[in-house]
Amino acid sequence: MGIGPIIRHRLGKYEIPAAEAYRNRFINLDDLATTLASLRPAKRILEIGAGDGSFGQRLCAAFPDAEYVGIDISDQVGRLFRGDRGRATFRPIRSDELRAENPQPFDLVCLVDVVHHLPEELRLPILDDARALTADDGMIAVKDWERGAGIAHAMAFAADRYVTGDKTVRFPSREELRGYIDSALPNHEVILETRIPPRRNNVLYVLSRLGPNGV
């Protein structure tokens, strides 16, 4: 375990504002949720790698009519979620386990800063799980931190490697990330490629499935 969880638990009532202030140095989750909501409505949303539930809270706010499911291998998934619990469900399971349950497909499947935490051999399978769990007319959103130089990237690496204690973290280049997506989702098209503030390292791809005629 990294030092992050230990420190956060000791913060007590200050944990959420401290976590938000720290996270905001790297990514604006409100901007990310708003960007996704501007593309297409969704009634069922799945977040793979939901973590503490911070982005799930934004998704529930940005999609006020949607049912949200957040999954993560952590047994404390959704611990900091403060949104509408009537529309949100958190489950400590893997994406392949959920896929095996053959649930009703989701209109939006999100993977936010998940790929760089996975060992190489699991990166394509988790994207394939996302594909299988998405409705034919749904969207898949993949946001990850692009490997780069400079202080911001050094801070991101230190946070993921030493604060969280994740020994497998390896940030992909933009070309690598696009390569994973093209390999795992060959029948999809990128409908949005952008960067999320405040750091240019935040690369977002949103994809939808091609129709039977390739359009």
pLDDT tens digits along 130-169: 999 999 999 999 999 999 877 878 777 777 766 666 778 9
Q: What is the pLDDT of residue 151?
A: 81
Q: What is the pLDDT of residue 99?
A: 98
Domain spans in the chain, listed from the N-terminal domain onward: 3-209
pLDDT in tens, 84-127: 999 999 999 999 999 999 999 999 999 999 999 999 999 999 99
C-alpha atoms less than 13 angstroms from C-alpha of 191 in its C-beta half-sphere: 18
Q: What is the pLDDT of residue 5?
A: 52
pLDDT in tens, 4-33: 454 455 555 555 666 676 677 889 999 999
Contact criterion met (CB below 8 Å) for 139 and 39: yes
Q: What is the pLDDT of residue 164?
A: 65
* Residue 155 to residue 165: CA distance in whole angstroms: 14
Contact criterion met (CB below 8 Å) for 203 and 173: no
Residue showing tokens 């999100």: 110
Quote the mean pLDDT of the chain: 89
* Residue 118 to residue 41: CA distance in whole angstroms: 29
Contact criterion met (CB below 8 Å) for 32 and 204: yes
79 φ/ψ sector (left φ>0, alpha ψ -120 to 50, else beta): alpha
Q: What is the pLDDT of residue 122?
A: 97
Does 3-209 carry CATH code 3.40.50.150? yes
pLDDT in tens, 66-79: 999 999 999 999 99
Cβ contacts of 57 within 8 Å, gap of 6 or more: 81, 82, 83
pLDDT in tens, 162-207: 666 677 899 999 999 999 999 999 999 999 999 999 999 999 999 9
* Residue 35 to residue 19: CA distance in whole angstroms: 22
* Residue 190 to residue 70: CA distance in whole angstroms: 23
Tokens at 117, concatenated: 């935490």
Q: What is the pLDDT of residue 3?
A: 41
